[in-house]
Amino acid sequence: GENVEQHPSTLSVQEGDSAVIKCTYSDSASNYFPWYKQELGKGPQLIIDIRSNVGEKKDQRIAVTLNKTAKHFSLHITETQPEDSAVYFCAASISGYSTLTFGKGTMLLVSP
Amino acid sequence: GAGVSQSPSNKVTEKGKDVELRCDPISGHTALYWYRQRLGQGLEFLIYFQGNSAPDKSGLPSDRFSAERTGESVSTLTIQRTQQEDSAVYLCASSYEVATQYFGPGTRLLVL
């Protein structure tokens, strides 16, 4: 089955800096890669996703890149703000066929 | 429209008692998932329902755990003879077919 590795487990940045979280996956058939943000005391919320037919997707300060050859994908947050502080989870699946396999999460702390 | 809802939001019980946790998925979503999240940890898959297919129970940690779903509607996760190690947040998610999952706020279970 699919295996997703996520790094780093914790990340501390200063407000205004960029943050990058990286994930690798094992199943070359995986074609759907969502990212979730989980704030303290809440359920995970989808923030962005990418499918294997594109290499990059952006939504304001958030972008995700995908390298199918290397089987890794990354979340990029620019101009970080304290409200970006949360745990971020990456996931992978074969869309329409398999359920999501999640990484273990990255705790992002943005200091003012 | 309304998101995934879960009840109760918090549950405190005594060791050995049974508990029932409820999940109301997004209307029209055919798939429903249960996860367990221990404090500071990632998402542990428990069980998955998809339409009329037999549920995938591969993540249930013991026979004290069971879940039911009525059609494409409400699901109940039951934990019998609760143990202290069952203390965690139980998250429910739903999706249309096997695709992007949308999470509820979770039920925080504390077993004394």
Does position A100 have pLDDT exceeding 70, yes or no? yes
- pLDDT of amino acid A61: 97
Contacts of B33 in chain A (CB under 8 A): 99
Return the closest-CA partner of residue A33 out of A61, A6, A60. Answer: A6
- pLDDT of amino acid B1: 57
Whether residue A20 contacts residue A8, with contact meaning beta carbons closer than 8 Å, is answered with no
pLDDT digits (tens, 9 = 90+) for A52-89: 888 999 999 999 999 999 999 999 999 999 999 999 99
Q: Does B105 touch chain A (CB under 8 A)?
A: yes
- pLDDT of amino acid B71: 81
Are A32 and B98 inside 8 Å of each other by CB? no
Does position B32 have pLDDT exceeding 90, yes or no? yes
**Mean pLDDT computed over B87-112:** 93
Q: Does A95 touch chain B (CB under 8 A)?
A: yes
- The SS3 call for residue B86 is helix
- pLDDT of amino acid B51: 85
- pLDDT of amino acid B40: 85
Percent above pLDDT 90 for chain B: 80
- pLDDT of amino acid B56: 92
Q: To the nearest whole angstrom, how far is the Cα of A68 from the nearest Cα of chain B?
A: 19
Contacts of A48 in chain B (CB under 8 A): none
What's the pLDDT band for A95 if we cut at 50, 70, 90?
Answer: confident
Q: Does B110 touch chain A (CB under 8 A)?
A: no
Does position A23 have pLDDT exceeding 80, yes or no? yes
- The SS3 call for residue A35 is strand
Query: CB within 8 A of A41, min separation 6: which ones?
Result: none
Interface of B with A in 2-61 (CB under 8 A): 4, 31, 33, 41-43, 45, 48, 56
Return the closest-CA partner of residue A72 out of A64, A60, A80, A84. Answer: A64
Are A95 and B98 inside 8 Å of each other by CB? yes
Does position B92 have pLDDT exceeding 70, yes or no? yes
